[in-house]
Structure formats: structure tokens, C-alpha cells
Amino acid sequence: MNVQARPKTFSRLELRPLSPMIGAEIFGLDLRETLDDSQIAEVRAALLKHKVVFFRDQDLTSAQHIAFAKRFGALEIHPATPKGQEDPELLHIAHGPESKGRENFWHSDVTWRTAPSLGSILRAIELPAVGGDTLFSNMVAAYEGLSPAMKDWICGLTAVHDIARVFAGRLGKTAEELHQKFPPQEHPVVRTHPETGERALYVNTAFTSHIKGLSAKESGWLLDHLYAQAVIPEYQCRFVWRVNSIAFWDNRASQHYAASDYFPAVRRMARVTVAGDQPFFDPAN
């Protein structure tokens, strides 16, 4: 495990927590500018500490959005991105009168990859007058809130994650077609964070299909119990978007839920995703 050194204090930016458990707004940075390495290190440290960080009033171009994300690692291209798009790193998420929001379930992004994403950076472009908030839940706290006996059991379990559960219908493909490029992946039910060493629940309602080695009934019961931990309000924060707001969340330690309460109003967002590494569980940590 590579637990990276990171700043102990924040001198280049101002942090204002949204809740005691997760989320903080960052002030004092203009993301249109090229940030120096110490500023990027503090943003990363804030992300690791708070699981999701937010920026206001960042009128970025697509190129600036992508450039900021690249400071944290290589970028992914999502299979839902149309072929031939000028900026393939940008995933456009738009809903309105002809398309009701469909991201209203607790999930972590792209857990169907062999190496799921480090984090996602979402920018608000057009918003409804009211509604369309995003909720975030701390999955480290969700794990820590379980009983010792439950922790002991699930730390030895493996779950299967399947892209087809969500994207077969959205992309108009069969599960078999999607599995040719993105076969189902096995990840530990409890993931060790590669930078902090924290343990986090790593199953989600969107992409987790079952737990290996359990009967369908046992797997369903256990997954429902673990999914429910994300719903506990004490583990959450709620972000009220404004145009040019940005959220940057750690997919390794959090889940999110986009409230779809604004139909038929328009909500347009753009997301860039930083590639991550293969999940693992460290029993010694």
C-alpha cells in the first residue's frame, strides 16, 4: 500500500466543512489558472480528508476543466461518451423535458472497471431554479459504524460488479456485447484506501450484482444491509449547486446520489474522471 505524504495544514487555501463527516468547500483558488504543485497537494489532501470538495464560481472552459483534472492523474473516457466528440474526456450529463434524471441512486462511479476511478470532477453548466442537489456519503464512516462481527465477516468477502446493470439499456446493447469489452469485475466488499489506509465499504446499488460464495438469498440480504449504510444521514452532506460550481469526489471512499426532483426543468453538467487503481483489501492495516 502506498500511503502518500500530504500536507498537515492548509496554508494555500481556505476550507469550510459542509458537515462533520464529509464534504468541504474550498476557497481561495481560481481553477482557470495553472496551480502550483503545493496548491494541488493541498487540494488532494483536502479531498482525502473530506472525501469530496467543492469550488464555487469557477467559469471554466472545457479545456481548463480537463487540464485541472489531469493534475491528479490520467483521465478516463466513459463508454457513454459519443464517438467523435471533440473532448472525449468530458462526459456530458444532461436532463430536461425529454429526459428525466436517472442518477438518483447511491453509487460510486465505474466500479465495473478493473481499476475503477480515483475520482470525478463535475461542473454545473445549467441548473433548474430549485432542486437537482447532489448528496454524498462517507463510506469509511459507513464501514466503521458496523458491528465488529459484521466487519470481521465482510472483510473476507468479494463482490461482483457489472456494467450491464445500468448501461445495457442506456447504450442499447446486450449484456453480452458490453461484457466483450468490460467483463464483470471482482472487488473486495471492504476496500483499503491506497493513500490513507482507511477501510471503506465498496459495494453499490448501481453496479454490484452479487457477493461470491453466498446463495442468492444470502447475497441479497447482505447487500441490502450494506447498501443501507450509505443512506444514514449522519454520514452525509448535501450540495446545492450553482452555475459554475464544481464537485470533486473520491470514488474510493464515498458514494453519491443525484436528486432527480427537478423534472421537467433542465440540468446540464460536465464530468471529467481521474483514473484509479485496482481495489484491494489489506488485512494487516
Distance CA 164, CA 63 (A): 31
Rounded to 5 degrees, what are φ and ψ at 149?
-65, -40
Count CB neighbours of 192 within 10 A.
21
User: Rounded to whole angstroms, what are the CA distances from 50 to 87, 166, 228?
Assistant: 29, 28, 21
Distance CA 271, CA 123 (A): 6
Of 148, 138, 236, give the one whose Cα is nearest residue 196.
138
Q: What are the beta bridge partners of residue 158? A: 188
Q: Quickly list DSSP for 90-114.
A: EEEEEEBTTB-----S-B-TTTTSS
User: Rounded to whole angstroms, what are the CA distances from 202 to 82, 133, 185, 217?
Assistant: 29, 23, 13, 20
User: Rounded to whole angstroms, what are the CA distances from 205 to 51, 70, 220, 241?
Assistant: 19, 29, 11, 24
Do β-strands 52-55 and 190-192 pair in parallel, antiparallel, or remain unpaired? unpaired
Report residue 281 as a C-alpha cell: 483489501
Report residue 244 as a C-alpha cell: 459554475
Position 255, amino acid = Q
Count CB neighbours of 77 within 10 A.
14
Active site amino acids = 107, 109, 256, 271
